[in-house]
Chains A and B, each alone.
Chain A
Protein backbone atom coordinates (compact mmCIF):
# COMPACT_ATOMS: atom_id res chain seq x y z
CA UNK A 1 0.00 0.00 0.00
CA UNK A 2 2.66 2.46 1.05
CA UNK A 3 4.65 1.51 -2.01
CA UNK A 4 1.73 2.21 -4.33
CA UNK A 5 1.24 5.63 -2.77
CA UNK A 6 4.90 6.42 -3.14
CA UNK A 7 4.98 5.65 -6.85
CA UNK A 8 1.78 7.57 -7.56
CA UNK A 9 3.33 11.01 -8.12
CA UNK A 10 5.82 9.62 -10.59
CA UNK A 11 3.07 7.84 -12.48
CA UNK A 12 1.05 11.03 -12.61
CA UNK A 13 3.86 12.95 -14.23
CA UNK A 14 4.61 10.15 -16.67
CA UNK A 15 3.05 10.54 -20.11
CA UNK A 16 1.70 7.02 -20.13
CA UNK A 17 -1.12 7.63 -17.65
CA UNK A 18 -3.32 5.40 -19.79
CA UNK A 19 -1.69 2.29 -18.41
CA UNK A 20 -2.26 3.18 -14.81
CA UNK A 21 -5.66 1.56 -14.20
CA UNK A 22 -4.71 -1.67 -15.93
CA UNK A 23 -1.54 -1.92 -13.92
CA UNK A 24 -3.50 -1.41 -10.73
CA UNK A 25 -5.89 -4.22 -11.61
CA UNK A 26 -2.91 -6.41 -12.40
CA UNK A 27 -1.28 -5.63 -9.07
CA UNK A 28 -4.54 -6.37 -7.29
CA UNK A 29 -4.93 -9.69 -9.08
CA UNK A 30 -1.34 -10.58 -8.29
CA UNK A 31 -1.93 -9.72 -4.65
CA UNK A 32 -5.05 -11.89 -4.44
CA UNK A 33 -3.23 -14.65 -6.28
CA UNK A 34 -0.45 -14.57 -3.73
CA UNK A 35 -2.97 -14.70 -0.88
CA UNK A 36 -4.62 -17.66 -2.56
CA UNK A 37 -1.27 -19.48 -2.84
CA UNK A 38 -0.43 -18.69 0.78
CA UNK A 39 -3.81 -19.93 1.99
CA UNK A 40 -3.49 -23.13 -0.03
CA UNK A 41 -0.03 -23.84 1.37
CA UNK A 42 -1.44 -23.17 4.81
CA UNK A 43 -4.30 -25.64 4.28
CA UNK A 44 -1.97 -28.36 3.00
CA UNK A 45 0.44 -27.89 5.91
CA UNK A 46 -2.40 -27.85 8.44
CA UNK A 47 -4.11 -30.97 7.06
CA UNK A 48 -2.22 -33.43 9.31
CA UNK A 49 -3.08 -31.35 12.38
CA UNK A 50 -6.73 -31.19 11.33
CA UNK A 51 -6.88 -34.94 10.89
CA UNK A 52 -5.09 -35.58 14.19
CA UNK A 53 -7.38 -33.31 16.20
CA UNK A 54 -10.54 -34.59 14.50
CA UNK A 55 -9.49 -38.20 15.04
CA UNK A 56 -8.61 -37.51 18.66
CA UNK A 57 -12.17 -36.34 19.28
CA UNK A 58 -13.87 -39.35 17.73
CA UNK A 59 -15.32 -42.38 19.48
CA UNK A 60 -13.23 -45.53 19.34
CA UNK A 61 -15.86 -46.95 16.98
CA UNK A 62 -15.87 -43.88 14.77
CA UNK A 63 -12.17 -43.74 13.88
CA UNK A 64 -12.42 -46.68 11.51
CA UNK A 65 -15.82 -45.95 10.09
CA UNK A 66 -16.28 -45.98 6.32
CA UNK A 67 -17.19 -43.61 4.73
CA UNK A 68 -14.79 -41.53 6.75
CA UNK A 69 -16.15 -38.99 9.18
CA UNK A 70 -14.73 -35.54 8.50
CA UNK A 71 -16.12 -34.40 11.81
CA UNK A 72 -16.90 -36.36 15.00
CA UNK A 73 -20.61 -36.73 15.66
CA UNK A 74 -20.09 -35.59 19.24
CA UNK A 75 -16.65 -34.31 20.22
CA UNK A 76 -15.27 -36.80 22.73
CA UNK A 77 -13.19 -34.56 24.97
CA UNK A 78 -13.06 -37.45 27.42
CA UNK A 79 -10.44 -39.06 25.13
CA UNK A 80 -7.98 -36.56 26.54
CA UNK A 81 -8.81 -37.83 30.03
CA UNK A 82 -8.62 -41.46 28.93
CA UNK A 83 -5.06 -41.25 27.64
CA UNK A 84 -3.93 -40.83 31.23
CA UNK A 85 -5.00 -44.42 31.89
CA UNK A 86 -2.89 -45.91 29.11
CA UNK A 87 0.15 -47.72 30.49
CA UNK A 88 2.42 -45.29 32.33
CA UNK A 89 1.21 -42.14 30.59
CA UNK A 90 1.21 -39.87 33.70
CA UNK A 91 4.73 -41.09 34.51
CA UNK A 92 5.88 -40.51 30.94
CA UNK A 93 4.62 -36.93 31.05
CA UNK A 94 6.34 -36.33 34.36
CA UNK A 95 9.61 -37.94 33.14
CA UNK A 96 9.57 -35.77 30.03
CA UNK A 97 9.06 -32.62 32.07
CA UNK A 98 11.80 -33.58 34.53
CA UNK A 99 14.36 -34.46 31.84
CA UNK A 100 13.53 -31.37 29.78
CA UNK A 101 13.92 -29.01 32.74
CA UNK A 102 17.16 -30.50 34.08
CA UNK A 103 18.88 -30.89 30.70
CA UNK A 104 17.77 -27.50 29.40
CA UNK A 105 18.91 -25.72 32.54
CA UNK A 106 22.28 -27.43 32.24
CA UNK A 107 22.69 -26.53 28.60
CA UNK A 108 21.80 -22.90 29.15
CA UNK A 109 24.03 -22.45 32.20
CA UNK A 110 27.12 -24.19 30.85
CA UNK A 111 26.82 -22.83 27.31
CA UNK A 112 26.32 -19.25 28.45
CA UNK A 113 29.48 -19.45 30.57
CA UNK A 114 31.53 -20.70 27.63
CA UNK A 115 29.91 -18.18 25.30
CA UNK A 116 30.90 -15.40 27.69
CA UNK A 117 34.53 -16.56 27.70
CA UNK A 118 34.65 -16.59 23.89
CA UNK A 119 32.98 -13.19 23.64
CA UNK A 120 34.98 -11.33 26.26
CA UNK A 121 38.40 -12.83 27.03
CA UNK A 122 41.71 -13.01 25.21
CA UNK A 123 43.52 -16.20 26.09
CA UNK A 124 45.97 -18.59 24.48
CA UNK A 125 44.31 -21.26 22.38
CA UNK A 126 41.15 -19.22 21.91
CA UNK A 127 40.99 -19.53 18.14
CA UNK A 128 41.77 -23.21 18.17
CA UNK A 129 39.18 -23.90 20.83
CA UNK A 130 36.55 -21.84 19.04
CA UNK A 131 37.21 -23.59 15.73
CA UNK A 132 36.92 -26.94 17.50
CA UNK A 133 33.66 -25.82 19.03
CA UNK A 134 32.21 -24.92 15.63
CA UNK A 135 33.55 -28.13 14.09
CA UNK A 136 31.54 -30.23 16.55
CA UNK A 137 28.40 -28.76 14.95
CA UNK A 138 29.13 -30.80 11.85
CA UNK A 139 29.70 -34.11 13.66
CA UNK A 140 27.22 -36.88 12.96
CA UNK A 141 25.53 -37.90 16.20
CA UNK A 142 26.30 -41.59 15.78
CA UNK A 143 30.07 -41.12 15.99
CA UNK A 144 29.54 -39.85 19.54
CA UNK A 145 26.58 -42.00 20.46
CA UNK A 146 28.35 -45.36 20.31
CA UNK A 147 31.36 -44.50 22.53
CA UNK A 148 29.16 -42.44 24.83
CA UNK A 149 26.84 -45.40 25.20
CA UNK A 150 29.83 -47.57 26.14
CA UNK A 151 30.98 -44.95 28.62
CA UNK A 152 27.54 -44.89 30.26
CA UNK A 153 27.55 -48.67 30.32
CA UNK A 154 31.00 -48.76 31.97
CA UNK A 155 29.88 -46.22 34.56
CA UNK A 156 26.73 -48.22 35.28
CA UNK A 157 24.58 -45.31 34.10
CA UNK A 158 22.32 -47.28 31.77
CA UNK A 159 18.70 -47.28 32.86
CA UNK A 160 19.22 -44.13 34.88
CA UNK A 161 18.60 -40.52 33.98
CA UNK A 162 22.29 -39.62 34.30
CA UNK A 163 23.11 -40.07 30.57
CA UNK A 164 20.12 -37.90 29.70
CA UNK A 165 21.03 -35.05 32.04
CA UNK A 166 24.68 -34.95 33.11
CA UNK A 167 26.26 -34.49 29.62
CA UNK A 168 24.07 -31.47 29.03
CA UNK A 169 25.72 -29.65 31.93
CA UNK A 170 28.93 -29.50 29.90
CA UNK A 171 27.84 -27.20 27.12
CA UNK A 172 26.67 -27.59 23.54
CA UNK A 173 28.44 -25.97 20.61
CA UNK A 174 25.36 -24.50 18.98
CA UNK A 175 24.31 -22.62 22.09
CA UNK A 176 27.84 -21.54 22.94
CA UNK A 177 27.93 -19.96 19.50
CA UNK A 178 24.51 -18.40 20.02
CA UNK A 179 25.49 -16.86 23.36
CA UNK A 180 28.81 -15.64 22.02
CA UNK A 181 27.07 -13.91 19.13
CA UNK A 182 24.66 -12.23 21.50
CA UNK A 183 27.21 -11.21 24.14
CA UNK A 184 29.33 -9.58 21.46
CA UNK A 185 26.53 -7.14 20.77
CA UNK A 186 26.69 -5.86 24.35
CA UNK A 187 29.08 -2.86 24.48
CA UNK A 188 32.33 -3.82 26.15
CA UNK A 189 32.49 -0.32 27.66
CA UNK A 190 29.96 -1.52 30.22
CA UNK A 191 32.41 -4.21 31.34
CA UNK A 192 35.27 -1.75 31.43
CA UNK A 193 33.31 0.74 33.52
CA UNK A 194 32.49 -2.06 35.96
CA UNK A 195 36.15 -3.12 36.02
CA UNK A 196 37.17 0.38 37.01
CA UNK A 197 34.62 0.21 39.81
CA UNK A 198 36.39 -2.94 40.94
CA UNK A 199 33.95 -5.61 39.78
CA UNK A 200 35.33 -9.10 39.22
CA UNK A 201 34.59 -10.99 35.98
CA UNK A 202 32.01 -13.32 37.53
CA UNK A 203 30.37 -10.23 38.95
CA UNK A 204 30.35 -8.58 35.51
CA UNK A 205 28.80 -11.69 34.00
CA UNK A 206 26.19 -11.92 36.72
CA UNK A 207 25.18 -8.28 37.19
CA UNK A 208 25.88 -6.67 33.82
CA UNK A 209 25.83 -9.15 30.96
CA UNK A 210 23.16 -11.48 32.35
CA UNK A 211 20.43 -8.86 32.88
CA UNK A 212 21.00 -7.53 29.36
CA UNK A 213 20.83 -10.96 27.76
CA UNK A 214 17.31 -12.10 28.58
CA UNK A 215 16.46 -12.60 24.87
CA UNK A 216 19.46 -14.87 24.34
CA UNK A 217 18.60 -16.95 27.38
CA UNK A 218 14.96 -17.15 26.34
CA UNK A 219 15.97 -18.26 22.84
CA UNK A 220 18.37 -20.92 24.06
CA UNK A 221 15.91 -22.20 26.66
CA UNK A 222 13.09 -22.45 24.12
CA UNK A 223 15.12 -24.17 21.42
CA UNK A 224 16.80 -26.61 23.77
CA UNK A 225 13.57 -27.15 25.72
CA UNK A 226 11.81 -28.19 22.52
CA UNK A 227 14.77 -30.39 21.51
CA UNK A 228 14.71 -32.15 24.86
CA UNK A 229 10.95 -32.60 24.89
CA UNK A 230 11.22 -34.22 21.43
CA UNK A 231 14.37 -36.21 22.16
CA UNK A 232 13.91 -39.82 21.08
CA UNK A 233 17.06 -41.73 20.13
CA UNK A 234 19.03 -41.12 23.33
CA UNK A 235 16.33 -42.22 25.78
CA UNK A 236 15.51 -45.10 23.45
CA UNK A 237 18.98 -46.60 23.70
CA UNK A 238 19.65 -45.72 27.34
CA UNK A 239 16.39 -46.75 29.00
CA UNK A 240 14.62 -50.09 28.86
CA UNK A 241 12.09 -49.86 31.69
CA UNK A 242 8.78 -48.59 30.25
CA UNK A 243 7.93 -46.67 33.41
CA UNK A 244 11.08 -44.59 33.09
CA UNK A 245 10.44 -43.56 29.46
CA UNK A 246 9.83 -39.99 28.45
CA UNK A 247 6.67 -39.29 26.47
CA UNK A 248 8.47 -39.41 23.11
CA UNK A 249 9.46 -43.05 23.61
CA UNK A 250 6.30 -44.03 25.48
CA UNK A 251 4.05 -42.87 22.66
CA UNK A 252 4.91 -46.04 20.75
CA UNK A 253 3.02 -48.11 23.29
CA UNK A 254 -0.25 -46.71 22.07
CA UNK A 255 0.37 -48.75 18.92
CA UNK A 256 2.70 -51.54 19.92
CA UNK A 257 0.69 -52.69 22.91
CA UNK A 258 -3.00 -52.19 22.42
CA UNK A 259 -4.00 -54.54 25.28
CA UNK A 260 -7.35 -55.49 23.81
CA UNK A 261 -7.79 -55.68 20.07
CA UNK A 262 -9.87 -52.55 19.70
CA UNK A 263 -8.51 -49.74 17.53
CA UNK A 264 -6.81 -47.15 19.72
CA UNK A 265 -6.07 -44.62 17.00
CA UNK A 266 -8.24 -41.98 18.64
CA UNK A 267 -6.20 -42.25 21.84
CA UNK A 268 -2.90 -42.28 19.93
CA UNK A 269 -3.94 -39.11 18.14
CA UNK A 270 -5.04 -37.53 21.43
CA UNK A 271 -1.62 -38.36 22.91
CA UNK A 272 0.19 -36.99 19.85
CA UNK A 273 -1.81 -33.78 20.01
CA UNK A 274 -1.22 -33.60 23.74
CA UNK A 275 2.53 -33.89 23.17
CA UNK A 276 2.48 -31.17 20.52
CA UNK A 277 0.47 -28.60 22.46
CA UNK A 278 3.17 -27.55 25.00
CA UNK A 279 5.64 -26.98 22.16
CA UNK A 280 3.23 -24.74 20.30
CA UNK A 281 2.29 -22.85 23.47
CA UNK A 282 5.93 -22.24 24.35
CA UNK A 283 6.61 -21.17 20.80
CA UNK A 284 3.79 -18.64 20.91
CA UNK A 285 4.96 -17.24 24.22
CA UNK A 286 8.53 -16.85 23.02
CA UNK A 287 7.98 -16.49 19.28
CA UNK A 288 9.96 -13.31 18.85
CA UNK A 289 12.93 -14.55 20.84
CA UNK A 290 12.81 -17.86 19.01
CA UNK A 291 12.79 -16.39 15.51
CA UNK A 292 15.57 -14.00 16.43
CA UNK A 293 17.67 -16.88 17.71
CA UNK A 294 17.20 -18.96 14.57
CA UNK A 295 18.07 -15.96 12.44
CA UNK A 296 21.09 -15.01 14.51
CA UNK A 297 22.56 -18.48 14.38
CA UNK A 298 21.85 -18.79 10.67
CA UNK A 299 22.78 -15.48 9.16
CA UNK A 300 26.07 -14.94 10.88
CA UNK A 301 27.01 -18.59 10.54
Chain B
Protein backbone atom coordinates (compact mmCIF):
# COMPACT_ATOMS: atom_id res chain seq x y z
CA UNK B 1 0.00 0.00 0.00
CA UNK B 2 2.73 2.33 0.97
CA UNK B 3 4.49 1.85 -2.35
CA UNK B 4 1.29 2.55 -4.27
CA UNK B 5 0.76 5.74 -2.38
CA UNK B 6 4.35 6.63 -2.98
CA UNK B 7 4.00 5.96 -6.70
CA UNK B 8 0.86 8.06 -6.84
CA UNK B 9 2.67 10.84 -5.08
CA UNK B 10 5.56 10.62 -7.53
CA UNK B 11 3.12 10.69 -10.43
CA UNK B 12 1.53 13.81 -9.01
CA UNK B 13 4.90 15.43 -8.63
CA UNK B 14 5.70 14.57 -12.22
CA UNK B 15 2.26 15.67 -13.43
CA UNK B 16 2.74 19.13 -11.99
CA UNK B 17 5.59 20.32 -14.21
CA UNK B 18 3.82 18.78 -17.16
CA UNK B 19 0.79 20.97 -16.49
CA UNK B 20 3.15 23.90 -16.20
CA UNK B 21 4.76 22.80 -19.41
CA UNK B 22 1.43 22.55 -21.21
CA UNK B 23 0.60 26.03 -20.09
CA UNK B 24 3.97 27.28 -21.30
CA UNK B 25 3.48 25.66 -24.69
CA UNK B 26 0.05 27.21 -24.98
CA UNK B 27 1.25 30.70 -24.13
CA UNK B 28 4.38 30.35 -26.24
CA UNK B 29 2.26 29.83 -29.32
CA UNK B 30 -0.10 32.63 -28.34
CA UNK B 31 2.79 35.05 -28.04
CA UNK B 32 4.32 33.75 -31.25
CA UNK B 33 1.07 33.75 -33.21
CA UNK B 34 1.63 37.03 -35.08
CA UNK B 35 5.17 36.04 -36.02
CA UNK B 36 4.19 32.53 -37.11
CA UNK B 37 1.47 33.98 -39.33
CA UNK B 38 3.91 36.59 -40.62
CA UNK B 39 6.52 33.94 -41.30
CA UNK B 40 4.07 31.88 -43.32
CA UNK B 41 2.20 34.64 -45.14
CA UNK B 42 4.95 37.18 -45.76
CA UNK B 43 8.16 35.15 -45.69
CA UNK B 44 8.27 31.39 -46.26
CA UNK B 45 5.11 31.23 -48.37
CA UNK B 46 6.36 33.97 -50.71
CA UNK B 47 9.82 32.36 -50.99
CA UNK B 48 8.36 29.08 -52.17
CA UNK B 49 5.85 30.89 -54.33
CA UNK B 50 8.55 32.89 -56.08
CA UNK B 51 10.55 29.73 -56.69
CA UNK B 52 7.49 28.21 -58.36
CA UNK B 53 6.88 31.46 -60.22
CA UNK B 54 10.34 31.26 -61.78
CA UNK B 55 9.12 28.31 -63.87
CA UNK B 56 6.24 30.30 -65.33
CA UNK B 57 5.91 32.96 -67.90
CA UNK B 58 3.71 35.42 -66.08
CA UNK B 59 3.11 39.10 -66.56
CA UNK B 60 0.94 40.71 -63.91
CA UNK B 61 -2.72 40.46 -64.90
CA UNK B 62 -2.26 37.98 -67.75
CA UNK B 63 -2.48 34.19 -67.96
CA UNK B 64 0.42 32.26 -66.48
CA UNK B 65 1.96 29.55 -68.60
CA UNK B 66 4.43 26.90 -67.48
CA UNK B 67 7.75 27.26 -69.28
CA UNK B 68 10.02 24.96 -67.29
CA UNK B 69 13.56 26.23 -67.06
CA UNK B 70 13.16 28.83 -69.80
CA UNK B 71 13.50 31.80 -67.44
CA UNK B 72 16.66 30.37 -65.93
CA UNK B 73 18.15 29.65 -69.33
CA UNK B 74 17.15 33.09 -70.51
CA UNK B 75 19.00 34.73 -67.63
CA UNK B 76 22.25 32.91 -68.26
CA UNK B 77 22.27 32.83 -72.04
CA UNK B 78 19.89 35.36 -73.61
CA UNK B 79 19.58 38.33 -71.29
CA UNK B 80 22.29 40.65 -72.59
CA UNK B 81 22.25 42.74 -69.43
CA UNK B 82 22.61 39.79 -67.07
CA UNK B 83 26.35 39.05 -67.02
CA UNK B 84 27.52 42.66 -67.25
CA UNK B 85 25.14 43.46 -64.39
CA UNK B 86 26.46 40.59 -62.28
CA UNK B 87 30.02 41.67 -62.95
CA UNK B 88 29.24 45.31 -62.14
CA UNK B 89 27.54 44.32 -58.89
CA UNK B 90 30.54 42.16 -57.96
CA UNK B 91 32.93 45.03 -58.66
CA UNK B 92 30.81 47.37 -56.60
CA UNK B 93 30.72 44.86 -53.71
CA UNK B 94 34.41 44.01 -53.99
CA UNK B 95 35.32 47.67 -53.64
CA UNK B 96 32.74 48.87 -51.14
CA UNK B 97 32.82 45.98 -48.65
CA UNK B 98 36.56 45.78 -47.89
CA UNK B 99 37.00 49.55 -47.92
CA UNK B 100 34.02 50.21 -45.68
CA UNK B 101 34.77 47.34 -43.28
CA UNK B 102 38.43 48.31 -42.85
CA UNK B 103 37.58 52.01 -42.87
CA UNK B 104 35.09 51.40 -40.07
CA UNK B 105 37.67 49.33 -38.19
CA UNK B 106 40.30 52.07 -38.48
CA UNK B 107 37.85 54.73 -37.34
CA UNK B 108 36.86 52.51 -34.41
CA UNK B 109 40.53 52.03 -33.48
CA UNK B 110 40.99 55.78 -33.63
CA UNK B 111 38.02 56.29 -31.31
CA UNK B 112 39.37 53.63 -28.96
CA UNK B 113 42.51 55.69 -28.18
CA UNK B 114 40.78 57.39 -25.26
CA UNK B 115 41.12 60.79 -26.88
CA UNK B 116 39.47 63.69 -25.14
CA UNK B 117 36.17 64.44 -26.88
CA UNK B 118 35.67 60.92 -28.22
CA UNK B 119 31.91 61.21 -27.72
CA UNK B 120 31.82 64.25 -29.95
CA UNK B 121 33.91 62.52 -32.62
CA UNK B 122 31.74 59.43 -32.46
CA UNK B 123 28.56 61.44 -32.90
CA UNK B 124 30.02 63.40 -35.83
CA UNK B 125 31.30 60.24 -37.53
CA UNK B 126 27.93 58.56 -37.09
CA UNK B 127 25.95 61.41 -38.66
CA UNK B 128 26.32 60.30 -42.33
CA UNK B 129 24.86 56.93 -41.44
CA UNK B 130 21.79 58.69 -40.04
CA UNK B 131 21.03 60.75 -43.12
CA UNK B 132 18.09 59.13 -44.95
CA UNK B 133 19.52 57.43 -48.06
CA UNK B 134 17.23 59.39 -50.35
CA UNK B 135 18.23 62.73 -48.82
CA UNK B 136 21.90 61.73 -48.82
CA UNK B 137 21.84 60.90 -52.52
CA UNK B 138 20.30 64.22 -53.46
CA UNK B 139 22.88 66.00 -51.32
CA UNK B 140 25.71 64.07 -53.01
CA UNK B 141 24.31 64.69 -56.47
CA UNK B 142 24.51 68.36 -55.70
CA UNK B 143 27.88 68.12 -53.96
CA UNK B 144 29.35 66.29 -56.95
CA UNK B 145 27.63 68.45 -59.55
CA UNK B 146 30.37 68.94 -62.16
CA UNK B 147 29.69 72.66 -62.52
CA UNK B 148 28.14 73.87 -59.30
CA UNK B 149 29.30 71.26 -56.79
CA UNK B 150 31.65 71.93 -53.93
CA UNK B 151 33.99 69.01 -54.69
CA UNK B 152 34.92 70.12 -58.18
CA UNK B 153 35.31 73.65 -56.85
CA UNK B 154 37.79 72.37 -54.28
CA UNK B 155 39.62 70.39 -56.97
CA UNK B 156 39.70 73.51 -59.13
CA UNK B 157 41.02 75.67 -56.30
CA UNK B 158 43.75 73.16 -55.46
CA UNK B 159 44.91 73.27 -59.05
CA UNK B 160 44.68 77.04 -59.11
CA UNK B 161 46.89 77.42 -56.07
CA UNK B 162 49.40 74.82 -57.21
CA UNK B 163 49.77 75.59 -60.88
CA UNK B 164 47.93 78.83 -61.54
CA UNK B 165 45.29 77.16 -63.68
CA UNK B 166 42.44 75.28 -62.06
CA UNK B 167 42.14 71.51 -62.29
CA UNK B 168 39.03 70.26 -63.99
CA UNK B 169 37.17 67.78 -61.78
CA UNK B 170 35.53 64.66 -63.21
CA UNK B 171 31.94 64.50 -64.37
CA UNK B 172 31.04 62.19 -61.45
CA UNK B 173 27.49 60.81 -61.76
CA UNK B 174 27.22 61.99 -65.35
CA UNK B 175 30.40 60.33 -66.60
CA UNK B 176 30.18 56.60 -67.44
CA UNK B 177 33.69 56.08 -66.08
CA UNK B 178 33.02 57.94 -62.84
CA UNK B 179 29.39 57.07 -62.11
CA UNK B 180 30.04 53.78 -60.31
CA UNK B 181 32.94 55.21 -58.26
CA UNK B 182 30.58 58.06 -57.30
CA UNK B 183 28.07 55.56 -55.92
CA UNK B 184 30.89 53.81 -54.05
CA UNK B 185 31.89 57.12 -52.54
CA UNK B 186 28.37 57.72 -51.21
CA UNK B 187 28.25 54.20 -49.75
CA UNK B 188 31.65 54.58 -48.08
CA UNK B 189 30.74 57.97 -46.67
CA UNK B 190 27.64 56.50 -45.02
CA UNK B 191 29.40 53.36 -43.77
CA UNK B 192 32.77 54.24 -42.25
CA UNK B 193 31.32 55.89 -39.15
CA UNK B 194 28.07 53.94 -39.02
CA UNK B 195 26.75 50.79 -37.40
CA UNK B 196 29.82 48.73 -38.31
CA UNK B 197 32.09 51.23 -36.61
CA UNK B 198 29.95 51.18 -33.45
CA UNK B 199 30.02 47.37 -33.41
CA UNK B 200 33.81 47.37 -33.91
CA UNK B 201 34.22 49.90 -31.14
CA UNK B 202 32.32 47.70 -28.73
CA UNK B 203 34.43 44.73 -29.83
CA UNK B 204 37.64 46.66 -29.28
CA UNK B 205 36.53 47.73 -25.85
CA UNK B 206 35.92 44.10 -25.01
CA UNK B 207 39.57 43.14 -25.60
CA UNK B 208 41.25 42.61 -22.21
CA UNK B 209 43.98 45.20 -21.66
CA UNK B 210 46.27 42.50 -20.19
CA UNK B 211 46.73 40.99 -23.65
CA UNK B 212 48.31 44.20 -24.91
CA UNK B 213 50.45 44.49 -21.81
CA UNK B 214 51.62 40.89 -22.15
CA UNK B 215 52.43 41.47 -25.82
CA UNK B 216 54.40 44.62 -24.97
CA UNK B 217 56.42 42.76 -22.34
CA UNK B 218 57.21 40.16 -24.99
CA UNK B 219 58.56 42.96 -27.11
CA UNK B 220 55.72 43.41 -29.61
CA UNK B 221 55.63 46.83 -31.24
CA UNK B 222 52.36 48.57 -32.02
CA UNK B 223 52.10 47.02 -35.48
CA UNK B 224 52.51 43.46 -34.31
CA UNK B 225 50.19 44.17 -31.38
CA UNK B 226 47.60 45.18 -33.97
CA UNK B 227 48.07 42.07 -36.13
CA UNK B 228 48.52 39.55 -33.34
CA UNK B 229 46.20 40.85 -30.64
CA UNK B 230 43.63 43.25 -32.08
CA UNK B 231 42.88 41.42 -35.33
CA UNK B 232 42.41 37.92 -33.85
CA UNK B 233 40.36 39.28 -30.97
CA UNK B 234 38.16 41.35 -33.27
CA UNK B 235 37.87 38.64 -35.95
CA UNK B 236 34.34 37.43 -34.98
CA UNK B 237 33.11 41.03 -35.29
CA UNK B 238 35.05 41.45 -38.52
CA UNK B 239 33.36 38.35 -39.86
CA UNK B 240 29.87 39.43 -38.78
CA UNK B 241 30.31 42.88 -40.32
CA UNK B 242 31.72 41.52 -43.59
CA UNK B 243 28.90 39.04 -44.10
CA UNK B 244 26.23 41.68 -43.47
CA UNK B 245 28.03 44.28 -45.59
CA UNK B 246 28.14 41.86 -48.54
CA UNK B 247 24.44 41.11 -48.25
CA UNK B 248 23.67 44.82 -48.22
CA UNK B 249 26.06 45.66 -51.08
CA UNK B 250 24.69 42.95 -53.37
CA UNK B 251 21.21 44.44 -52.98
CA UNK B 252 22.12 48.10 -53.47
CA UNK B 253 19.22 49.88 -55.07
CA UNK B 254 18.38 53.40 -53.90
CA UNK B 255 21.73 55.02 -54.67
CA UNK B 256 21.79 53.71 -58.21
CA UNK B 257 18.08 54.26 -58.81
CA UNK B 258 17.85 57.84 -57.59
CA UNK B 259 21.42 58.89 -58.25
CA UNK B 260 21.81 57.77 -61.83
CA UNK B 261 18.81 55.62 -62.84
CA UNK B 262 21.36 52.98 -63.74
CA UNK B 263 23.03 55.22 -66.28
CA UNK B 264 24.86 56.76 -67.96
CA UNK B 265 25.12 53.98 -70.55
CA UNK B 266 24.28 51.32 -67.93
CA UNK B 267 27.40 52.27 -65.97
CA UNK B 268 25.53 51.91 -62.66
CA UNK B 269 22.99 49.28 -63.70
CA UNK B 270 23.30 47.13 -60.58
CA UNK B 271 21.50 43.85 -60.03
CA UNK B 272 18.85 45.44 -57.82
CA UNK B 273 17.88 47.76 -60.65
CA UNK B 274 17.65 44.86 -63.06
CA UNK B 275 15.20 43.07 -60.78
CA UNK B 276 13.27 46.27 -60.16
CA UNK B 277 12.86 47.07 -63.83
CA UNK B 278 11.90 43.53 -64.78
CA UNK B 279 9.36 43.10 -61.98
CA UNK B 280 7.94 46.51 -61.25
CA UNK B 281 8.21 48.36 -64.54
CA UNK B 282 7.73 45.55 -67.05
CA UNK B 283 5.72 43.49 -64.50
CA UNK B 284 7.40 40.36 -65.83
CA UNK B 285 6.94 38.53 -62.55
CA UNK B 286 8.15 35.13 -63.72
CA UNK B 287 11.50 36.39 -64.93
CA UNK B 288 11.78 38.83 -62.01
CA UNK B 289 11.32 35.95 -59.58
CA UNK B 290 14.02 34.01 -61.43
CA UNK B 291 16.43 36.93 -61.12
CA UNK B 292 15.60 37.28 -57.42
CA UNK B 293 16.20 33.57 -56.86
CA UNK B 294 19.53 33.71 -58.65
CA UNK B 295 20.52 36.50 -56.27
CA UNK B 296 19.27 34.43 -53.34
CA UNK B 297 21.29 31.39 -54.41
CA UNK B 298 24.39 33.44 -55.14
CA UNK B 299 24.16 35.18 -51.77
CA UNK B 300 23.58 31.92 -49.90
CA UNK B 301 26.56 30.35 -51.64
CA UNK B 302 28.71 33.37 -50.93
CA UNK B 303 27.67 33.43 -47.27
CA UNK B 304 28.34 29.69 -47.07
CA UNK B 305 31.86 30.25 -48.42
CA UNK B 306 32.41 32.95 -45.86
CA UNK B 307 31.25 30.64 -43.09
CA UNK B 308 33.61 27.94 -44.36
CA UNK B 309 36.59 30.23 -44.39
CA UNK B 310 35.36 31.44 -41.01
CA UNK B 311 37.00 28.53 -39.17
CA UNK B 312 40.37 29.38 -40.64
CA UNK B 313 40.64 32.93 -39.57
CA UNK B 314 38.03 33.69 -36.93
CA UNK B 315 39.26 33.24 -33.41
CA UNK B 316 36.88 32.83 -30.52
CA UNK B 317 38.42 33.60 -27.15
CA UNK B 318 37.29 31.04 -24.60
CA UNK B 319 36.39 28.62 -27.34
CA UNK B 320 37.86 25.13 -27.11
CA UNK B 321 38.33 24.84 -30.89
Binding site for B on A (CB under 8 A): 3, 31, 34-35, 37-38, 41-42, 45-52, 55, 63-64, 66-68, 110-111, 113-114, 116-118, 121-124, 126, 129, 132-133, 136, 138-151, 153, 167, 169-171, 176, 201-202, 205, 226, 229-230, 232-233, 236-237, 248-249, 251-252, 254-255, 265, 268-269, 271-273, 275-276, 279-280, 283-284, 287, 291, 294-295, 298-299, 301
Contact = CB atoms under 8 A, between A and B. Distances in A.
B128 interface: yes
Contact of B300 (A34, A138, A265): A138
Contacts of B53: 146-147
B296 A143 contact: yes
12 contacts: A41-B125, A50-B150, A63-B148, A113-B32, A114-B32, A136-B39, A230-B134, A251-B138, A269-B142, A271-B135, A272-B139, A299-B202
B299 interface: yes
Interface stretch (B5-13, B224-232, B246-254): B246-254
A118 B29 CA distance: 10
Nearest to B24: A121
Contact of A283 (B42, B130, B275, B276): B130
A143 B110 contact: no
Interface in B40-84: 41-47, 49-50, 53, 60
A271 B135 CA distance: 8
Question: Main SS of the interface on chain A?
Answer: helix
B37 A122 contact: no
A237 B254 CA distance: 13
Contact of A48 (B143, B285, B295): B143
Contacts of A145: 279, 292
Contacts of A254: 138
B110 A45 contact: no
Contact of A276 (B132, B147, B193, B199): B132
A295 B139 contact: no
Given A113-B34, A117-B32, A280-B127, A140 B295 contact: yes
Contacts of B150: 47, 50-51, 68
A46 B143 CA distance: 12
A254 B254 CA distance: 17
Contacts, number: 261
Interface string B100-114: 000000010011011
Contacts of B29: 117, 123
Given A149-B280, A287-B123, A170 B41 contact: yes
Contacts of A38: 110-111, 115, 121
A255 B251 contact: no
What 3 A-B pairs come out closest when comparing CB atoms?
Answer: A170-B38, A147-B46, A298-B199
B131 interface: yes
Nearest to B52: A147
B168 interface: no
A46 B47 contact: no
Given A117-B28, A252-B258, A151 B203 contact: no
Given A114-B35, A298-B241, 13 more contacts: A45-B189, A49-B127, A49-B131, A64-B147, A68-B148, A129-B36, A140-B292, A144-B43, A146-B50, A147-B45, A230-B132, A232-B133, A236-B280
B118 to A, nearest CB: 9
